[in-house]
Amino acid sequence: MRQLSISAILFLLAVTKCFSQGNEVIKLWPGLVPGEQEVKHPAKPAPTAKNGIKLITDVTDPLITIYTPSPGANVGIGIIICPGGGNKYLSVYTEGEDVAKWFVARGFTTFVLQYRVPDKRAGALQDIQRAIRLVRGNAAKWKLDTHKIGVIGFSAGGNLSARAGTEFKQKTYEAVDKADSLSCRPDFGMLIYPGGMATGPEHKLIPELTVDKNSSPMFLFVANDDPVGVPLSFAYALHDAKVPLEMHVVPTGGHGFGLYRGNGVAWEWPELAVNWINQLLNGK
């Protein structure tokens, strides 16, 4: 038990160091976290995944970690990153920090979101809505265009990003400050192997994803051999509502590849996503 305790402490210190050196951290909720029953505390380490990827869990004090490009490279576009982890954990490295740094190197300002887990889907939606509003409310600080604030999500984080792009009309919490008077609709969404989008043998779209003409434009990337499934029902809903959509289904790659160096397909989606963003927002 003593060794486990020391390991946990060392992991927490590593997480704190990783997310504090040169990167601003903003807690989403300055006071009570809406609907949260537990006292605020730092996220805890979770068992390392079989592929060696480190995870965190037990998030009660949601936050965003900001990664900014050099002033001369800033393209004025903000991306809120939602790591996956099956709504139980958050893969804040391969689906968080690594992604943030990749986009920052190309002039984007990125925000890694630690949303509430485990199994707090209502709280997670509150967290992403609040994060979008905070980023939009501080756009001038980071030299962002308020109409160019989007989300990217992986697996369960992809599901959450899809909900952000379709459930933005829902008032999920009472206003905290002036930021909450702003829209929480993302200007674009990128879903990388999103999970839990459909249910049943007919792959019926889950009821939370109520798509209409005002839903956020979406970029979807998934492998055809993904055991979680291919979000075709969501793509059809976007198509029928005439929402801008680009979808890529590659033959192989499985699930959870993020920017994992052991999977070649992990390096196909980022450039495609950037090209889509530039065409969508800048007409390039």
- Mean pLDDT across 118-147: 98
Q: How confident is the model at residue 284 (pLDDT cuts 50, 70, 90)?
A: low
Which pLDDT belongs to residue 260? 75
Which pLDDT belongs to residue 264? 79
| β-pair type (245-250, 218-223) | parallel
Q: What is the phi-psi region of residue 85: left when phi exceeds 0, alpha when psi lies from -120 to 50, beta otherwise?
A: left
For helices 121-137 and 156-164, give the axis angle rounded to 10 degrees.
60
Q: Which domains does the chain have, with CATH numbers?
A: 25-282 (3.40.50.1820)
- Cβ distance 235 to 158 under 8 Å? no
Report the C-alpha gap between 13 and 98 in whole angstroms. Answer: 19
Q: What is the dihedral of CA 232, 235, 237, 240, to 10 degrees?
A: -120
Q: How confident is the model at residue 184 (pLDDT cuts 50, 70, 90)?
A: very high
Which pLDDT belongs to residue 16? 40
53 against 147, higher pLDDT: 147
Amino acid sitting at position 14: A
Find out whether the peptide bond into 118 is cis, omega within 30 degrees of 0.
Answer: yes
Tokens 């920052």 locate to 104
Kindly report, residue by residue over 236-278, the tens digit of the pLDDT. Answer: 999 999 999 999 999 999 999 998 767 778 889 999 999 999 9
Which pLDDT belongs to residue 196? 96
Report the C-alpha gap between 266 and 42 in whole angstroms. Answer: 30
Whether 7 shows a pLDDT value over 50: the answer reads: no
The pTM assigned to this predicted structure is 0.91
Which pLDDT belongs to residue 41? 96
Whether 25 shows a pLDDT value over 50: the answer reads: yes
- Mean pLDDT across 7-30: 60
Structure tokens at 154: 């992986």
